[in-house]
Amino acid sequence: MTNILITGGSRGIGYELVKQFSADANNYVVVLSRNIEKLEQLKQECIQLYQNTIHIYQVDFNSTSLNQELQTILVKENKHFHTVINNAGVLVNKPFTETTTADWQTVFTTNVFAPATLIKEVISCNNTNEQTHIVNISSMGGFQGSVKFPGLATYASSKAALAGLTECLAEEYKDSRIMFNCLALGAVATEMLAEAFPGYEAPTTSQEMGKFIADFALSGHHFFNGKILPVSQSTP
């Protein structure tokens, strides 16, 4: 049995990721998201499609009590998580001079501090004798040398920070059985992209990207550790 923990599973890539993993009865899937109604819908969909039950929890990644909430969930599950995917994210699209301290706090709390907190709690609860692959979902907007888009300073900066965190943790835990990698995604047809860029047609569907990430999460640690990997059809 492969135990998998995914954040941000209520829509877009996360929603498709959960379905990909749920299709295999050997996967035990735990999903965290703020939108419990969408998670309930996803749970029923997985049961109908694959006769596989996912385990859902409502979590606010901007909460000041996030570490306690995660501890409670992990203790209740009482499992070693072989795969952890930090997919939850938030985007603010506005000119830099109009961004507020609250904007920066919200984006960095959800996109950087929450993944760091989850990783810390998972490491504390996991069995050190078993393999763990932690995959952080970043963006080409946070990839060094890529084209940057006006209005996304908070989002791109947070995703660059998440990529840097991945490299730091891979080095710190290089003598353990914990592997860290980061996928910097290009444009994918999701609700978040549509909200940020109305009318833009992305070359990749959330289903296609969900399958790629699921496959990478299960096997990528055999080839990569501490890597920031661009996943985009355009250059830069």
What's the total number of domains in the chain? 1
Whether the model pTM is above 0.85: yes
Does an H or E element contain 120, and which?
helix 114-125
CATH number (domain holding residue 61): 3.40.50.720
Report the candidate in 83, 172, 194, 94 with the shortest Cα–Cα distance to residue 131: 83
- Residue 115, domain member (yes or no): yes
Gap between the Cα atoms of 91 and 229, Å rounded? 21
236: in domain:
no
In whole angstroms, what is the distance from residue 229 CA to residue 134 CA?
14
Q: What is the pLDDT of residue 194?
A: 78
For residue 201, the model assigns a pLDDT of 81
Q: Are 205 and 188 in contact (CB under 8 A)?
A: yes
Token pair of 100, please? 């507020």
Interaxial angle between packed helices 36-50 and 12-22, expressed in degrees from 0 to 180 and rounded to the nearest 10: 30
Token digits of residue 9: 């599973």
Residue 25 lies in a domain: yes
Residue 55 covered by a domain: yes
For residues 32 and 7, give the distance between their C-alpha atoms in angstroms, rounded to a whole number. Answer: 5
User: Helix, strand, or coil here: 212?
Assistant: helix
Residue with tokens 């830069």: 236
Average confidence (pLDDT) per 10 residues, the chain, 236 residues? 97 96 97 97 97 97 96 97 97 96 98 98 96 97 91 97 98 98 91 78 89 98 98 78
Rounded CA gap, 64 and 174, in Å?
30
Count of Cβ atoms closer than 10 Å to residue 217 Cβ: 24
- In this prediction, residue 235 carries a pLDDT of 64
Q: 59 lies in which domain range? A: 2-231
